[in-house]
Amino acid sequence: MRVVTFNACHGSAGKGTPTDTEGLVDACVGFGADVLALQELDRGTRRVDRADQASLVARATGMAHLRAPVKPYDEGWVENALLVRGSLTDGEVLALRGRDRFGRGERRSAVVATARVGDRAVSVAATHLSLTVPDNEPQQDRVVAALVRRPGPHLLLGDLNRRTAWVRPGTARAGLTLVDDDVPTFPAPAPRYRIDHVAVAGLAVTAVEVVRAPVSDHRAVVVEVA
């Protein structure tokens, strides 16, 4: 099973750059994922010409999807999404609160669901956590707790805004193994930090790759599990 987490940055290359929804969709098709977690998608905003990016990716890939709204923005919404080449059931959206780098309140979210790919079922959590460590540590704990309450195997995906060494203790306490090759994912042109992560329980990781897509200021993490 091929799983991918990707902060799509609305199909742009970062703040102040043009958006390219078609390029975002093409990148997601190219991943060939069975389970795909996307962060920073837009729905109905002016900057993406009112597109529903999650629905467009789902249609192009033939995947089922659940969205996790984050906040209203630019006459539309910013949101995260979980997609699967199969079905999603028992979906739950967690509203997370935190602060940005300037100390201002901000909204984050996670989606937790049962993903079925063929005859395999796995409990999945997909999220995008806050920038500040005092906020993203308890957010990680809350998302992981919601995940491991469900039947295994378990799969955690997302932009956690946390370095590998910071993520590992909390996931290990919950019985998850972090995919910790530590190849950096951000910023995309010349990555310095690994802040996009995958963790598993009851699944064997057989391959890991960090991939630069034609859009976004993050690189994607692509993991093969058995």
> Domain map of the chain by residue range?
2-225
Reply yes or no on whether the pLDDT at 35 is more than 80: yes
C-alpha to C-alpha distances, 58 to 29, 48, 85, 120, 161, nearest whole angstrom: 9, 17, 9, 20, 25
Reply yes or no on whether the pLDDT at 94 is more than 80: yes
Reply yes or no on whether the pLDDT at 68 is more than 90: yes
Query: What would the mean pLDDT of 61-75 be, rounded to a whole number?
Result: 97
Specify which residues 222 forms β-bridges with.
4, 209
Reply yes or no on domain 2-225 having CATH 3.60.10.10: yes
Q: Strands across the sheet with 205-211, in order?
A: 64-73, 76-84, 35-43, 2-7, 220-225, 205-211
pTM over 0.85, yes/no = yes
Q: What is the pLDDT of residue 196?
A: 98
Q: What is the pLDDT of residues 206-218, one digit of tens each?
A: 999 999 999 999 9
Left, alpha or beta for 167 (phi > 0: left; psi -120 to 50: alpha)?
alpha
Query: Do β-strands 2-7 and 35-43 pair in parallel, antiparallel, or remain unpaired?
Result: parallel
How crowded is residue 203: how many other Cβ atoms within 10 Å of its Cβ?
21
Q: What tokens appear for 131 in the block?
A: 């920038």
- Mean pLDDT across the chain: 96
Q: What is the pLDDT of residue 103?
A: 80
Q: What is the pLDDT of residue 85?
A: 98
Q: What is the pLDDT of residue 107?
A: 94
3-state SS class at 183 = coil
Q: What is the pLDDT of residue 98?
A: 87
Reply yes or no on whether the pLDDT at 101 is more than 80: no
Q: What is the pLDDT of residue 15?
A: 83
List the end-to-end C-alpha distance of the chain, in Å, as a whole number. 6
The answer to whether the CB of 105 falls within 8 A of the CB of 84 is no
Query: What would the mean pLDDT of 104-117 be, rounded to a whole number?
Result: 95
C-alpha to C-alpha distances, 13 to 17, 71, 117, 123, 213, nearest whole angstrom: 6, 21, 31, 31, 10
Q: Can you tell me which residue has the tokens 């998608």? A: 41
Amino acid 108 reads R
Least confident range from 8-17, 73-82, 150-159: namely 8-17
Q: What is the pLDDT of residues 161-207, one digit of tens each?
A: 999 999 999 999 999 999 988 999 999 999 999 999 999 999 999 99
**pLDDT band of 30, cuts 50, 70, 90:** very high
Annotate 138-179 with DSSP letters as a single string: HHHHHHHHHHHTSPSSEEEEEE-SS-HHHHHHHHHHTTPEE-
Reply yes or no on whether the pLDDT at 77 is more than 80: yes
Which of 223, 226, 80, 82 lies closest to 153 in space, CA to CA? 226
